[in-house]
Structure 1
Amino acid sequence: MVLFPGRADPDALAPLIAAIADLAPFRVMTTRSGGRLAAAMTSVGACGWVSDRRGYRYETLDPETGRAWPDMPLVFRRLAVETAAEAGFADFAPDACLINRYAVGAGMGLHQDRDEADLGQPVVSVSLGLPAVFLIGGADRTMRAAPLPVRSGDVLVFGGPARLLFHGIRPVKAGLDPVFGPFRYNLTFRKAR
């Protein structure tokens, strides 16, 4: 697990996220049991992550629009590939980027990213907007999670032995980011298929 503080440029990424949301709007998805996820989500790339009563999975079409997910911007791909290579994952070729938008008070419980076909590939996580506390647990839910503060522009790469660690986000505290306003955004790049 490698943290690259301030590696991403929030000013460059903000208009791209807005353009993506015009094509594939943010939505709050449900879980298999009918609960609602806390963060609003959308995706870009060859496939997008979805959750509903059928479970978690990647789909090539946006279930809300019926269209293919927007293409992944070159700036997104370059950021993910370059930071993954610097962290020791030279062959990373992301085909999906899940974009989470957290309002104040929204967080994400400890979970593993297990829906990807090749768990040998890393996850590249880009924090934007309001600061947050990333939680890093162990290989099972019983291990106490360690806090890692992340700020706008930070990029975290986790792969290898860290790939299946439980992780999450504490509820976002109130604030106003100069670029993203009262929100935290998180881009998570994966090799899904």
Structure 2
Amino acid sequence: VICTIPFSILRDVELQVALPKWKTNAIEKLGYGTNSKLLLGFDSRVWRQYQNSGYVFTNQNIQNGWDNSWAQPGKNGGFTIYQGGTEGLQLGNGTPESQSIPFIDQLNKMWPGCKAAFNGRVKRMHWPAYPFTKGSYACYKVGQYTSIRGAEQKAIGNLHFAGEHCSLDFQGFMNGAAETGRLAAEEILEKINREQV
């Protein structure tokens, strides 16, 4: 069996198998990010009029943002607001429309004309509230790099673990999920081959 359930969800699942303390500790305590996204629609990509790619980091309302319509034809565009930490959690408050107001104002200060080009279309992805993950991706809390790292992927008998949260090199990324899925499959094949010899 390969278990790919994020530990943020697995900790609420009643398991019918005894796990060693080091594994239950990893499952129960592994940290998860609070990143959230607000996707804003525009009738034109105003930032391009300023010879700007639209990729920003700021110390204002917008922590990180980018043109999510880059390399797409047409004049309409989209802009992704990407927040983390407390700001990521707060992005879940109110409606997506109410959350968009301070970001539109900031974009308009950076690139005048954004407010007029905003078409009112807003979508929100609030990962901390998403019931199938309860967080954006695994991320070690202080001290977990030395107390948990490596326990995530270790198999218990015939129970194998995979997912971005199990990757030592690519935690938080889809290639970490693919990598650990491959590694778990290789572990199973190796066990099968040993038993046949």
TM above 0.5, yes or no, is no
Which TM bucket (shorter chain)? under 0.3
Alignment TM-score, normalising by the size of structure 1? 0.22
Larger radius of gyration: 2
Q: Which has the higher helix share?
A: 2
Alignment TM-score, normalising by the size of structure 2? 0.21
Q: Which has the higher strand share?
A: 1
